[in-house]
Structure 1
């Protein structure tokens, strides 16, 4: 009987140890999954942060390009205005010269 009791106790102890191992393995798997998801969540969060940062940089770059383009357009408008003024001056000079040479009696005097 004593051997039977020891065997039952040992068997119960072994079953208990198996249950603890299963629980520990399950707990370890759960913790591993949690870490995996947490790591993925961090990776995703880092990825989103990186994308947001890149979008911000691109947006700033586009803003800079737009400002630079606007400055170039303003500079070109100034150049066009200057050239237009110069063309008007030349046209007036031409008109003055043309008027001078087409005065009645000018060639008779020469």
Structure 2
């Protein structure tokens, strides 16, 4: 699933599901394009999660998940906290994905420099 989402962040598709080919931009140009596309998709994920949870709850869940994922908090602790914040806790999955992909994007930008 994670690999599938990573592939989605690194590809361009039109609304109908068809993919258009473009002339390769070279390593730097394609990396910038991929990062721009990923940032756009991340912004849409963030907006969707905010719409689903509300801004205040989103911010609390987002901050918690950032700290939890970077601090290697156990899945049980994460689940317990999220169940207190949101019912059903599965509504926070999109926020968890957002945190994961933001970290991946930052890592890829950091390794590119």
Which bin holds the TM-score, normalised by the shorter protein?
under 0.3
Structure with bigger helix share is 1
Greater relative contact order structure (CA < 8 Å, 6+ sep)? 2
Q: What is the TM-score normalised by the length of structure 2?
A: 0.26
Task: Normalising by structure 1, report the TM-score.
Answer: 0.27
Bigger Rg over Cα = 1
